[in-house]
Structure 1
Amino acid sequence: MKKYLSVLLAALLLMLSACSNNSSGNEAKTGDSKHPAGTITVWGWDVAAATMKASVEKFQKKYPDVKVKVEDFNSGDLYEKLTVGLAARGSGLPDVVLMEDERIPGYTFQFPQGFSNLTKLGYDKYKDSFNPAKVAAVQDKDGNFVAAPWDIGPAGVFYRVDYFEKASVDPKSIETWDDYIAAGKKIKEATGAKMLPIDIPNYDGIFQMMMQQQGLSYFDQDGKITLDSPEAVGAMNVIKKLHDEDLVLNNNGWDGIVTATVNGTVATVPYGVWYTGSIMDQAPDLKGKWDVFYLPSFEKGGNRYANLGGSSLLIPSTSKNQSAAYAFVDFFTTDQDSQMLGFEKYGLFPSLKETYNAPQFTENSEYFNNSPVFKKFADIVDDVPKIHLNENFAKASKLTSNAQAAILLENKSVEAALKDAQKQLENEIK
């Protein structure tokens, strides 16, 4: 009997020792919320991925036990891999993923358990560090952070200083869209340049900005479709007037906008602040010939602010190293140096408000007519209206682009085209 008990005791001690060793191994591999450790994979694209890679060195000074692998994809490939991985319940997914804000509601709707609740991990303490419109874009209906804010795109009108001077148009005189149209007619007569580029069949960015000026997206704050609302009709009527006056250059996608900017076939480009980098990079010989003013309003004294673009970071809920993933997300989106790195090297405009006190946001830009171009954008961040984004954003955008094409290219009435788009979206959602 004693021999049996000795054997049993030895076996129990061996099992306890093995469990203890396994526990220590897991702790060393993943750490905990106070001392994260292990290896995480981060997905991004283009200059965003480059910024994250460049930020890893400082991150690892704070978290030396965490190794970060940043994988750079084409954005389309990233979304395809993400969708496949989420459908496969996490197979092959990273620990952190970059996502454009307008896509977030669609993914969180289709995969409600697919991403970690960052509020539960402590991110809510940063709520006041970002502007209200950006915060609204990364929260769910219950006010939880589903993503951590990174870059944003406050919008304005980039304009050719020399064209305006030749036509004797003072940009300060352009307060409303009617003023903008009147200025465009004078500029076209004096220079031959059209007022702005629009990829008519495929892109409704101008319409999006006009709607946000009025506090709406394709939906109101209650989620009701707004495609045939008075605000939408008013916005599309302005676009139609611009087209009827032959002030719109029907361009082909992104490359068409850049080409029009470089060769001078347009006098203005209404776009997000991130376009500063593209102008400087693609048209270095136009130094001093570009500047910016705020979007025109629909009525004198009306709102002139909107946002176009921006992205945020999410943590797939299947990540096996949530502590290290959250440490990276927390650091990358709230560390001022990391935010400024993306801004200075790649023109990515940070959403972290404390960065706007840096000299880079207050000094004059030699390229942009010696004006404080970035301060102009930073000054309006808190004034951009909050809008409602949901899982049907992409469908609504496509239908609005179709309506825009029918109005401008097929002479369909604004009211009829938008009413048809409204009905079609209602049917598709049902």
Structure 2
Amino acid sequence: MKKVSLFGSALVALVALTACGGSGGSGGADENKLTAWAWNINIPVLEEAAEQFAEDNPGFELEIVEVGTPDVYQRITTGLQANGQGLPDIMLVEDDRVQGYLSNFQDAFLDISEYGFLDDHNDKFPDFKTELLTVDGGVYGFPFDAGPAGVFYRTDLFEEAGIDAEQIETWDDFIEAGQTLRDELDVAMTGIDIANDDGVYRMMLNQQGTFYFDENEEINLDSEESIKAMEVVQRLHQDGLNENLVGWDAWLTGLANGSVATAPTGAWLTGSLTEQAPDLAGNWGVFPLPAMEADGNRASNLGGSNYMISANTEQPELAYDFMEYFATTDDVQLTAMENGLFPSLNTIYDDPIFTEPVAYFGDQAIWEMFAGMMDDIPAVNYTGNYSIARDETETAQSDAAGGADVTDVMTRAAEQLQNRMN
């Protein structure tokens, strides 16, 4: 199976935008061949699925063009602006990008409800994934992986400091435990990149059933829920419980060397931890995200992606059949899990792998914990203004971490966002 890299080649980029794949062409497409854009650990999953699909569809070929983020979104946007010219048949799109594309280019994507996807498979996926892809009754993509959130933590450091993770039920409890960790071991509780990553804040919004925007696409940055979430980040930083680790590599290093004891994040961190810190096997555990108040919701999501089909594809039925197979076949989704992704397909949650103890995490059945959260994760209204909203919240997070009044900074962030949207 052929893989083509688009990195660093203007010539290949030009070809990709004018004649890549089976869509936007002028005929002569191979009737049994599709092209897909994807990246990283998604590629071996696609390859395995294509091989399995070909067993019942002799001659089927999937050409995978490896394009990483953010390049892939620049190329997708360019193709959409050119009425679909140059787009592949199939493209991987992360959750936070979907609504932006659908709000501006809805007709550029294949409505898979016309092929019966909702009727046949809607109950196999959590609502927060299917709602993301649904517009005016149409469905414009196949749910793939998700990022159910939890708190990854160093069990050895917690034990040394006398902290019982099972007693951490709220963010107040989390902060109290962080103070103990600071005082006893001089270790930070979190490693939030204050100026560049508002992921912890976003998870707290999500668990409260809201986001940057409410269900009516109204700006929500100055809401009670938003202020509560940002106050938690401020307290973590102002109390000396957060080490400001700038960038992905610094964050993983801090987790690996023990300068930071926890990582509130999505389930996808498991693969990075086991690869980056294999010597810490048995010293990591996971507990559910703390609630905002006693008995509050502890389910949230960070990350995830979907596959979308170009409406310009010359092989719509073949593209649908393959992606339906990909998205709803247990073996394929278990392959995804083996590659470090957490599938949205709930029919696999009864597989023995979900109850098996994971040695790296002290024989904890972490997959069962994550699967149990999926139906409780609220849907998110990203809207087409997600990127500028995130930009404003990260600025606000920096100000709040510096000691500014949270209500003031979030009110200002809401005003700034409104100005940028006008």
Contact kept? 2:41, 2:340, Cα under 8 Å: no
350, 374, 382: which one aligns with 2:343: 350
Contact kept? 1:115, 1:316, Cα under 8 Å: yes
Contact kept? 1:175, 1:297, Cα under 8 Å: yes
Corresponding residue for 2:410?
418
Contact kept? 1:66, 1:324, Cα under 8 Å: no
For residue 237 of structure 1, what is the amino acid of its counterpart?
A: E
Report the Cα offset of residue 100 of structure 1. Answer: 0.1
Matched, 1:137 2:132: yes
Structure 1 length-normalised TM: 0.90
Corresponding residue for 1:189?
183
How do residues 14-413 of structure 1 correspond to structure 2 at under 5 angstroms? Answer: 37-124=31-118, 125-140=120-135, 142-344=136-338, 346-409=339-402, 411-413=403-405
**Is the alpha carbon distance of 1:167 and 1:329 closer, same or farther for their aligned partners in structure 2, counting shifts above 3 Å?**
same
Gaps of 5+ in 1: 1-25, 31-36
Report the Cα offset of residue 121 of structure 1. Answer: 2.1
Taking the aligned partners of 2:325 and 2:280, their CA distance within structure 1 comes to 37
SS in 2 for 1:84: helix
For residue 220 of structure 1, what is the amino acid of its counterpart?
A: D
SS in 2 for 1:127: helix
Corresponding residue for 2:13?
none
Gaps of 5+ in 2: 1-25
Taking the aligned partners of 1:143 and 1:222, their CA distance within structure 2 comes to 17
Contact kept? 2:29, 2:314, Cα under 8 Å: no
Report the Cα offset of residue 28 of structure 1. Answer: 11
Report the Cα offset of residue 29 of structure 1. Answer: 6.4
SS in 2 for 1:94: coil
In the TM superposition, what whole-angstrom CA distance separates every residue of 1:103-124 from its partner, at most 9, and x where no partner exists?
Answer: 0111122223211111112211
Contact kept? 1:156, 1:292, Cα under 8 Å: yes
Corresponding residue for 1:6?
none
Taking the aligned partners of 2:95 and 2:322, their CA distance within structure 1 comes to 19
For residue 375 of structure 2, what is the amino acid of its counterpart?
A: D
Number of corresponding residues:
396
CA RMSD for the aligned pairs? 1.5
Taking the aligned partners of 2:367 and 2:179, their CA distance within structure 1 comes to 29
Taking the aligned partners of 2:165 and 2:63, their CA distance within structure 1 comes to 47
Taking the aligned partners of 2:264 and 2:137, their CA distance within structure 1 comes to 32
Taking the aligned partners of 1:118 and 1:401, their CA distance within structure 2 comes to 36
Higher-Rg structure is: 1
Range that drifts further, 156-165 or 86-95? 86-95
Taking the aligned partners of 1:92 and 1:222, their CA distance within structure 2 comes to 34
